[in-house]
Amino acid sequence: MKKCHFYIVKLKKILLPTICISFIFCLVIFSKTNLSATKNGLVLWVNSIIPTLFPFFVATELLSHTNFTYILGKILNKFMKPLFNIRGEGSFALIMGIISGYPIGAKIAANFRENNICTKEECERLLSFTNNSGPLFIIGTVGITMFGNSTIGFLLLITHLMASITVGIIFRFWKYNTKNENIEYNYYSHSKNNINLSNLGEIIGNSITSSINTILLIGGFVVLFSVIISILQNSHLLDTFSLFLNPIFNFLHIPSEFSSGFISGILELTNGLSIISNIPQKKISINIIIASFLLGFGGISILLQVWSTISKTDLSIKPYILGKLLQACFSALYTFLFLQNFLFFNFDL
């Protein structure tokens, strides 16, 4: 038994270095396609992510230095507390997470914890359901650009938000019996950091710097996962992994050609959605349901972005992972029910 334990520990020690060395070799072997993937990742970051996310990052940073969060909390506390077991200030993370998309919700939850606006348990509940795909991405990029139909985009948005709210209600019981810390005094102690004429320039500068750091982090993940997916495709490892999914897909009556796109979407959302939307099917409802699942989950790339965002706090990543898995399942379920019960959303040929 001790010998077996020794081998497990030794395997853990050499696993990460082995993966890194293999990745470096693959960068050299598939250098031509990796260069193209890097360029595509950078283009996606510059043309889509920076214009849509950077202004929201700056705006949320500036709003955190005003009493807007406190006022919003007072107004919406009677809704947030019964539904999600979170004080009203958490509504700011929910609203901004819906409007602006990944990873704003997680960033606000982390800021709340750093500034002691919400308890650890409340911030972990926020993590589970406030980090969502934005309407601009779902309707514009996925609906109109990928599927060529804005109605599909609206359907995916509706089911995505319904699933998010459902997960939030379920996670109201997360660490339910934990005694909440008293943070009321700490919250007001931050009022001296509120924006005013004397510190306007400093706070704007700090907000821009913080937003640039976050946007650079996101860009790095986008480029990295674009290269990883390219390596998996060119080494045919993606096809190998797809073989393991085929029995599950066959059981669910899903054509096997969706498996590689599904795995790509689990790794990085945008690439996977692009593949799924371009698979020709008479029953396009299958494409839509899988796209809904991937939108709910968000992908490992976004998961790592969130993990990096909360790394400076005492928040656990577990509620986020569990929440996204639940949201993916509920998103797919709600989309299936809409497609089955409303003729308006029947897109099958």
186-235 pLDDT tens trace: 444 455 556 666 677 888 888 888 888 888 888 888 888 888 888 888 88
Question: How high is the mean pLDDT of the chain?
Answer: 82
What span, in angstroms and rounded, lies between the C-alpha atoms of 301 and 136?
Answer: 19
**Cα distances (angstroms) measured from residue 219 to each of 42, 226, 227:** 7, 11, 13
Give the pLDDT confidence score for residue 167 in this predicted structure: 94
CB 330 within 8 A of CB 312: no
The tokens describing 339, both together, are 């497609």
CB 335 within 8 A of CB 288: yes
Give every residue of the chain whose pLDDT is below 70, as ranges.
Answer: 1-12, 176-198, 282, 344-349
CB 33 within 8 A of CB 230: yes
Give the pLDDT confidence score for residue 343 in this predicted structure: 72
φ, ψ for residue 174 (rounded to 5)?
Answer: -65, 120
Give the pLDDT confidence score for residue 187 in this predicted structure: 47
Give the pLDDT confidence score for residue 185 in this predicted structure: 39
What span, in angstroms and rounded, lies between the C-alpha atoms of 47 and 287?
Answer: 26
Q: What angle do CA 292, 294, 298 make, to 5 degrees?
A: 120
How much is the pTM?
0.82
Q: What is the pLDDT of residues 292-334, one digit of tens each?
A: 999 999 989 889 889 888 888 888 899 999 999 999 999 999 9
Give the pLDDT confidence score for residue 165 in this predicted structure: 93
Which amino acid appears at position 338 of this protein?
A: F
Give the pLDDT confidence score for residue 342 in this predicted structure: 77
Domain ranges in the chain? 29-176+183-345
What span, in angstroms and rounded, lies between the C-alpha atoms of 69 and 346?
Answer: 41
